[in-house]
Amino acid sequence: MKKILTILLLTGMLMGCEDKVSIDLNDAPPVLVVDAWINNKPEAQVIVLSQTQPYFESELPPPVTGATVTVTSSDGNTFNFTEEEKPGEYRWDPIAEGSSIGETGTTYQLSISADGENYTAISQINRVPVIDSIRFTFYEERNPFQPEGYYGEFVSTDPEGEGDTYWIRTFKNGIYQNRPFDLTIAYDAGFSQGGLIDGVVFIQPIQDSVNPLSEDLNEIVPYVIGDSLYVEIHSITNDAFFFLQEVQIQTQRDGGFDEIFAEPLENVPTNIVNTNENSDERAIGYFCVSSVEGRGRRLTE
């Protein structure tokens, strides 16, 4: 009882603290940010280079222009990513080049030369399961967070052999659902390492993750007649899985009571390395090469 009273007293004290506090943060020197998630889809692949900026800055991050960006595969192919129309965006088009990123098991090295510094990273393209089907089911109101309506799910089976990791991406009516709470990753057929869920159909919460949340995050938004759902499974390395797991921790904050005791914001570990060990310049971000399987369906009467 004393413990409960203490918690209630602490809660009341914290909820009563409404004074705004201005915090002066020292501006750190800008750091290279690498957004290099590429895949074997037959479409333009993009690597984005930018710089960090002060925490309270509201402008878009400044692009890093004039860099040299290449990806080299273990089977001897080199992919030159060139800066074209948009500053800081470096592209390679498999259709224009008449080739593809490569096959499962191939290792890739990213090389970046920017502002007098050289950076590198390694990734491997892993296997990915096919999506067997996309289904819609009509449910009456289950709870206050799930109103009556049609809900989607995908069915796919993780291949046998522990340690496969994936990033599941959802497109509703052709629009990629990429808010922080839309991020869905899987370790084998479950959410995390150690679940011992291997070689079976993805667990139901992962199948159901294709149903987006409302803008206020208070309920799941059902699909309506005419809506389309497209789902992609991207194979990712184990290190990329743990990177995205940390991204979830840092970004999926709703400002509630639990946030008072949450871990402080910090940069997520990276696999981008400066080749000059004596240099003080560092980079953040990630490089990953994925194999992709996708499937879609439109909800009809």
Same-domain pairing of 263 and 116 = yes
pLDDT recorded at residue 13:
43
Question: Is residue 221 situated within a structural domain?
Answer: yes
CA dist 230 to 99, 135, 151, 282, Å?
25, 11, 13, 37
Give all strands (DSSP E) within 10-161, no chain letters: 32-39, 45-51, 68-73, 78-83, 89-92, 107-114, 117-124, 131-139, 149-156
Residue 241 and residue 136 share a domain:
yes
Percent of the chain with pLDDT over 90: 73
Asked whether residue 99 falls in the same domain as residue 165, the answer is no
Query: Do residues 120 and 135 share a domain?
Result: no
| Inside any domain, residue 10 | no
Going by C-alpha positions, the residue among 83, 129, 125, 122 that lies closest to residue 100 is 125
**212 part of a folded domain:** yes
Total domains in the chain come to 2
Q: What is the mean pLDDT of residues 5-32?
A: 56
pLDDT on residue 254: 57
**pLDDT bucket at 56, cuts 50 / 70 / 90:** low
Instruction: List beta partners, residue 161.
Output: none
Q: Return the CATH number at 91.
A: 2.60.40
> What's the chain's length in residues?
301
pLDDT over 90 at 151, yes or no: yes
Return the SS3 of 290.
strand
Q: What's the rounded mean pLDDT across residues 15-19?
A: 51
40 plus 92 within the same structural domain? yes
Q: What does the DSSP 8-state code read for residue 193? A: T
Sign of the CA dihedral with 155 first, then 159, 161, and 166 last? negative
Q: Which residue has the higher pLDDT, 111 or 14?
A: 111
**185 and 118 co-located in one domain:** no
**Domain encompassing residue 276:** 32-126+258-291
Residue 43 lies in a domain: yes
pLDDT exceeds cutoff 70 at 186:
yes
**Considering the entire predicted model, what is its pTM?**
0.86
The verdict on residue 13 lying in a domain is no
Tokens 């402008």 correspond to 59
**pLDDT, mean of residues 75-87:** 94
Residue 220 pLDDT level (bands cut at 50, 70, 90) = very high
Q: How far apart are CA 22 and CA 202, in angstroms?
A: 46
Within 10 Å of residue 65's Cβ, how many Cβ atoms? 14
Burial (0-12, 13-18, 19+ Cβ within 10 Å), 187: buried
Task: Evaluate if residue 16 carries a pLDDT over 60.
Answer: no
* Amino acid 25: pLDDT: 56
